[in-house]
Amino acid sequence: MSTDALRYQSGFGNEYASEAVAGALPQGRNSPQRAPFDLYPELISGTAFTAPRHENRRSWMYRRQPSVVSGRYQACAQPHWQTGADRDIALAPEPLRWHPIPLENAEVDFVDGIRTLAANGDAEAHSGVAAHVYLASRSMERRAFVNADGEMLLVPQQGRLTITTEMGVLDVKPGEIALLPRGVAFKIALPDSEAGAGPSRGYVCENYGAQFRLPELGPIGSNGLANARDFQAPVAAFESEAGGYEIVKKFAGRLWRAPMKQSPFNVVAWHGNLAPVKYDTANFMTIGSISFDHPDPSIFTVLTSPSDTPGTANCDFVIFPPRWLVMENTFRPPWYHRNLMSEFMGLVYGEYDAKPGGFKPGGASLHNAMVPHGPDEEAFEKASHADLKPQKLDNTLAFMFESRFRFIPTAWALQSPALDTDYADCWAGLKDQFKP
C-alpha cells in the first residue's frame, strides 16, 4: 500500500468519502451501470436497511473483485475464543482479579492469540459482549479476518497495531483505541513485535449488540467527553501484490477459513458512514467535580452500546484517564459500592487509584452485578487522611467494559495462573472503626 494510506478522515459516523485513485469514486449514483475503471460496486450494511436514519450505517465500496469470490469454508480451530455466556460455569458472587496475562505462548497472530476472559449475552440474540485479551507476536501477512458476530473494540496495552481494513489502514498505539465494524475484513500487523520488542498484548470488547456510539451529553451540552472530530477513519488504500489470502471468518460462534485468490483489501474507493475508526484517549475531555463528591463514573463514557431499555447499556466503554482531583472534604478514590451493572476492568498503563498495588497493567478485574467492591485497605487509609490539595492523577489509563449482563468467566480464565486467588484479602484488614 502507498504511504498515503496513513492519512485519516475525521469524525464519527460521518458520510466519509475516499478514493485511492483519482476518479474511482462514482459521483451522483452508487451503482452506475459500469463503475469507473470497471470496479465492482459492493454495499455493506451494518444496520437493518430500515434502521432510523441517525443509527443507520452503510458504506459503498468500489473494488477490483467482490468479496463473494472465495473458496469454500472449512471449520478452523481456535479453542480459546468463546462466544456468549457459558451457562455451565457455576459462578460464585465474588470479586475476581487477574494479574497481567502472561505473555508466553504468544508466538501466534492476533486471531490465534485471542483469549476470552469472560463473556455474556448471546451473539444470536444481538445482545451482550465478550471481554478478550490478545497475546500475539506475529503479523497477519496473507491472512484476513471477518467477524460476522460482532464489532470489535481494540484497546492495545503493549505494542502498536497496524490495522489494514477494507476501507484503509489505521495505525494504533497504546493509549488509542480502534473500533472495527461487524463484517469489515481486517488484518493486524505488529510492528513493535516484529522489531524485536516482544509480544503485543491488549484487550478486546467483542460487541454482539447495537453498535457503539457517542453517548448523549444531556446538560453537559454540545462539547465534552469524546468529541466526534477526534475519531479518525482511514482513507481508501488497496493492495496490488499478487497472491492468495486465507480468510478467517467468525460466524455463529465458530471460526471458518477459506482460500481467496486475491487480497480482500482491494477497495479502490469507498463512501458511507460505516467505517473503522481510531481514537486517541488523550483527546478525551474529562469532566469531574470541582466542589465536592464524585459524579457517577458514567461521566467517563467514551462510547455506548445501548440495549432495549433506555439508559441501561448493553455495554459502555468507560475510561479513567489522567485528570485533576480537586474535590474538597471528599473521599477521592471510588467509594464502596455494588451495582446492577457488571464491570470488567483493564489497565493500559500506570496505577489505578482504588488499587495502587494490586491491579497491574495487562491484568483485569471483574465485579459482577451486586458484587460489592471498592478501594483496598491501603487506598482507604491513604485517602482518608490525605491532605486534599489539588492533585494530578497522571500517567494512568484504566478502562471498563460495563454491561447490564453478568460476565461469565471462561474455564481458561478461571484456571489461568494469572487468577489472583487472594484478591478478596485486599479488603480483609478493613476494621470496624466506629467511634461513637
Give the catalytic positions in this structure: 294
- Cα 161 to Cα 175: distance, rounded to the nearest angstrom: 12
- Cα 280 to Cα 245: distance, rounded to the nearest angstrom: 31
Q: Which stretch binds Fe ion (CB under 5 A): 264-272, 343-351, 352-360, 385-393?
A: 343-351
Measured from the CB of residue 50, what is the shortest distance to Fe ion in angstroms? 38
Non-local CB neighbours of 129 within 8 Å, separated by 6+ positions: 119, 120, 121, 150, 205, 206, 207, 208, 209, 305, 314, 315, 401, 403, 405
Report how many residues bind Fe ion under the rule CB under 5 A. 1
Considering the complex, state which of residue 94 and residue 141 has its C-beta at the smaller distance from Fe ion.
Answer: 94
Considering the complex, state which of residue 272 and residue 297 has its C-beta at the smaller distance from Fe ion.
Answer: 297
Measured from the CB of residue 336, what is the shortest distance to Fe ion in angstroms? 9
Q: In what order do the strands lie in the sheet with 96-98?
A: 96-98, 364-367, 342-349, 397-403, 315-320, 301-305
Measured from the CB of residue 343, what is the shortest distance to Fe ion in angstroms? 5
Measured from the CB of residue 26, what is the shortest distance to Fe ion in angstroms? 50
DSSP state of 414: H
Q: Residue 150's closest CA among 116, 173, 176?
A: 116
Measured from the CB of residue 339, what is the shortest distance to Fe ion in angstroms? 6
CB 266 within 8 A of CB 144: no
First to last CA, the chain: 72
The residue number with the shortest CB distance to Fe ion is 343
Site string for Fe ion, 33-72 (x = CB under 5 A): ----------------------------------------
Site string for Fe ion, 89-118 (x = CB under 5 A): ------------------------------
Q: Residue 226's closest CA among 1, 13, 6?
A: 13
Q: Which stretch binds Fe ion (CB under 5 A): 233-241, 270-278, 335-343, 348-356?
A: 335-343
Considering the complex, state which of residue 298 and residue 391 has its C-beta at the smaller distance from Fe ion.
Answer: 298
Q: Which stretch binds Fe ion (CB under 5 A): 75-83, 93-101, 201-209, 341-349?
A: 341-349
Backbone φ and ψ of 180, nearest 5°: -110, 115
Ramachandran area for residue 386 (φ above 0: left; ψ -120 to 50: alpha; else beta): beta
Match 485479551 to its residue by C-alpha cell: 133
Q: Which stretch binds Fe ion (CB under 5 A): 273-281, 282-290, 342-350, 391-399?
A: 342-350
Measured from the CB of residue 177, what is the shortest distance to Fe ion in angstroms? 21
3-state helix, strand, coil in the chain (%, to 5): 10, 35, 55
- Site residues (CB under 5 A) for Fe ion? 343
